[in-house]
Amino acid sequence: MAPVIQEFQARQESSDLTIVNTAQHRQLVDEVFSLYGIVPSVDLNIMEDNQTLGLIFSKTSEAIDRVLQEHRPDILLIQGDTSTVFVAALMAFYHKIDVGHVEAGLRTSDMYNPFPEEINRRMTSELTTLHFAPTQRAKRNLLREGHRETTIFVTGNPVIDALLKAVQIQFECQNELLNSINDGCQKLVLITAQRRENHGKPLADICQAILELSELHENVVFVYPVHPNPNVKRPVEEVLSARERVFLVDPLDYMTFVHLMKKSYLILTDSGGVQEEAPTIGKPVLVLRETTERPEAVEVGAARIVGTERRRIVREVTSLLKNGEEYEKMVVSENPFGDGKASRRIADIVLARYAAAGD
């Protein structure tokens, strides 16, 4: 959302902007705000360790309800964590405030994959005034659900705007461990796996696959930024700590993570955002999920869905490590999720609509 915020800040003569930070992920969002020079108008500070979905709902709804009562905006723009997004949209509906959903229309048609994102997104769409869809497929999803075409705008995703800006910044990684690995003689495989639907056996199987891969490929290092949630941290450390060429690191700030993506050979992930970012920097992605709400990456050849079964993960990673021709097929030249101008389009649409309405 940072590029969208900056776009409105650049047009201060046309808009009165209030930035609300739920701080559900305190460290990560503070780093991004610092990077982009953004100072939130309101900081709700709702974060608690290992908080449940119910707790997120109750704390966020109460806090955002107060914010909307005080500020009464013409429109509430939302993007990001889908639990927060849905709660914010519901509170806006209660106050009869318009909602602009950035990154609208992502679907798998499987209510439990991704969990709880699929249902959160569907319910948010029912409360949305302006749908900012990243792709034509996302627009078709919304049309199929009965949303009016005049409310849907294909803008691209500002996630790509942010990434394109980030890769242009001169950056020196301060993490000594990360600087010490992959001197060019080894291939680096980057891993992110933390999603709720992968807790338990799926994550255990992912870890066993990484362990097997590290034993099979002596010229490969594996870097895994591990989420502090004990449902992730405990099983990962039990299988992979102190393993040769497997580096478990604390969650990384945005710029360090971008640096690591650029440095990697390929990426294993259950993250949605990484599926969008990796094609921009030409990195193949193996998706550690059974479904994806971003099938465009699969369609252009930049990603493959490999699930969480150990043998399949080992087979697919090994194939890309050994088969250069197959690897090159996954290095795409065009990102289907945006061209870096999504934020500008979103601001244009919002300001034109509310200026025309006399707001």
Note the pLDDT tens digit of each residue in 201-242: 999 999 999 999 999 999 999 999 999 889 999 999 999 998
pLDDT of residue 35: 83
| Residue 215, domain CATH | 3.40.50.2000
Contact 150, 131 (CB under 8 A): no
pLDDT of residue 359: 47
pLDDT of residue 182: 63
Is-above-0.75 flag for pTM?
yes
pLDDT of residue 84: 92
Query: What is the b/e burial string over 89-106, where b = at least 16 CB atoms within 10 angstroms of the residue's CB?
Result: bbbbbeeebbbbbbbbbb
Our separate counts of H helices and E strands in the chain read 16, 12
pLDDT of residue 185: 66
Same domain, 42 and 112: yes
54: in domain: yes
241: in domain: yes
CA 339 to chain centroid: 17
- Tell me the residue range of the domain where 215 lies: 176-329
Tell me how far CA of residue 122 lies from CA of 13, 98, 102, 303, 329, in angstroms. Answer: 35, 17, 13, 24, 34
Same domain, 243 and 309: yes
pLDDT of residue 196: 87
Q: Which residues of the chain have pLDDT under 70?
A: 50, 182-185, 356-359
335: in domain: no
Same domain, 246 and 187: yes
